[in-house]
Amino acid sequence: MNAVNRIVLIFVLMALVSGCAELDQGLSKGSDILAPRDYVTGKRELNPISEKDEVQQATQAGESILAEARQRGVAVDTDKEMLLRLQEIMNRIAKVSHRTNLPWEVHLIESPEVNAFTIGGGKIFFYRGAFGGLIDPNNDNEIAAVMAHEIGHVVARHTGKSMGQQLAAKISSKAKKSTGGDLYRASYSTLHEDEADKIGVLYMSLAGYDPTDVPGIWARANKKYGSDPKAHNYAYDHSLNEDRFVKTNTLSVFALSYYKGQGVENADYKTILDSNNLTGKKATEEGSGFAAAIKAAADTYTSHVEAKTEEHKRQGQMQQDKLNAQRLSKVTYKMQNTTTGYKGIFGNIQNLSNNVVKNATVTVLYVNQAGKVVHSEDVLIQNLSILPGQSASWSTLLKNVPGSTGIVVQTSDLTW
Ligand SMILES: [Zn+2]
């Protein structure tokens, strides 16, 4: 069955869940293929891509990623020593995972992005920038943490599932209004990130890498990049760095009972994979194919609702960030004639945060007698370097806004 047919079938299954389509008996055979069991949880989940297609697509996509990098003059896999180290860490972790028989492959791309990623099908990529930018290159446990996280995404088949969840969102009429948003997509991937973190911490511990080194990565990232979702791309799809420190700190405590020492593989790993306090107990009960597929469609809908909850949380966080930015700066101003005869607003903005402020926005609100805003204007103050406690000056021309009787000045945004 090709991807399009699978998607059509999933649409029909989803429609059944929303109660607006007739049941077609002929579909029942499709359910096993459409809703395979999740390797980690044992639960059925909708996945528009078959495993065979997943591996085939990842192999092709992987080859073109590497070919494109080389075409741009970016070296790939040239540091043989580092590559061998990555392969060894990957092999040790993949061996104790729920999906040992994939064609596992890791590549090192010599470019500065602070990231590692997977395209599913066992293909993992590290950018050079991840070493030093995110993880300590001299610490195998930190490399293993990122590797195990990516392996977690592959084992949980997140690449295919996000397609299923986008479909669920489209079909759910309530979701229609907000499905286009980046925030929604980011919220989905945040749930996947949390799952990959859980699986990753478990796998690395079973393979003999110390899980208590994981939270340190996020504490350091928080210090370096802060927790503003806009300030650093890496934080956007993932939990905010501060959150992730707290979460992985808890996970590492749970995982410690499965860690048998540096370089020591846990001999009971097979039993632990089926039941542990990170990914829970693997479900085994066998429902009828069709009922199981309906259940999987319902579960997919549930995870859509979870993503909506996460989206609201994120919206709240972003509003909070805005308020914090206002509290983190103090703006003063006075009106004065300019040298060219116009009236100007001349102000100072003081940095009350603990970070060096690079850009700031001051908003000038023109208000009428009733205090209503009749016009607003943003003054962008860019390429600054205001140290904590220090001030920078700003100015803008006073406009002649009909109906306005005064101005109110606010700071609305700071970035560092
Ligand atoms: Zn991830």
For position 187, what pLDDT does the model report? 58
Ligand 1 centroid to residue 215 C-alpha, Å: 15
Using pLDDT thresholds of 50, 70 and 90, give the confidence band for residue 19.
Answer: very low
Ligand 1 centroid to residue 136 C-alpha, Å: 18
128 falls within a domain: no
Ligand 1 centroid to residue 150 C-alpha, Å: 6
Which of the two residues, 367 and 275, has the higher pLDDT score? 275
Ligand 1 centroid to residue 117 C-alpha, Å: 7
For position 169, what pLDDT does the model report? 55
88 falls within a domain: no
Ligand 1 centroid to residue 104 C-alpha, Å: 17
Which of the two residues, 414 and 228, has the higher pLDDT score? 414
Domain-ending residue, one of 268, 283, 317: 317
Ligand 1 centroid to residue 149 C-alpha, Å: 6
Ligand 1 centroid to residue 349 C-alpha, Å: 38
Here the CATH number for the domain that contains residue 348 is: 2.60.40
Ligand 1 centroid to residue 229 C-alpha, Å: 15
Ligand 1 centroid to residue 361 C-alpha, Å: 32
Sign of the four-CA dihedral 58, 63, 64, 65? positive
Ligand 1 centroid to residue 237 C-alpha, Å: 8
93 falls within a domain: no
112 falls within a domain: no
- Domain shared by 345 and 311, yes or no: no
Ligand 1 centroid to residue 162 C-alpha, Å: 13
Ligand 1 centroid to residue 49 C-alpha, Å: 20
In the chain, the number of structural domains is 2
For position 115, what pLDDT does the model report? 86
Compute, in degrees rounded to 10, the torsion defined by CA atoms 282, 246, 414, 352.
170
For position 30, what pLDDT does the model report? 53
Ligand 1 centroid to residue 3 C-alpha, Å: 24
351 falls within a domain: yes
pLDDT surpasses 90 at 13: no
Which of the two residues, 379 and 303, has the higher pLDDT score? 379
132 falls within a domain: no
84 falls within a domain: no
- Domain shared by 249 and 374, yes or no: no
For position 210, what pLDDT does the model report? 97
Residue 394, domain extent: 328-415
- Domain shared by 293 and 190, yes or no: yes
Full-model pTM: 0.65
Summarised one tens digit per residue, pLDDT across range 56-99 is: 988 998 999 999 999 999 999 999 999 999 999 999 999 999 99
95 falls within a domain: no
- Domain shared by 298 and 215, yes or no: yes
Ligand 1 centroid to residue 239 C-alpha, Å: 10
Ligand 1 centroid to residue 65 C-alpha, Å: 18
Ligand 1 centroid to residue 387 C-alpha, Å: 33
Ligand 1 centroid to residue 268 C-alpha, Å: 27
* Mean pLDDT, residues 144-164: 87
- Domain shared by 193 and 266, yes or no: yes
Ligand 1 centroid to residue 15 C-alpha, Å: 30
- Domain shared by 384 and 254, yes or no: no
- Domain shared by 41 and 184, yes or no: yes
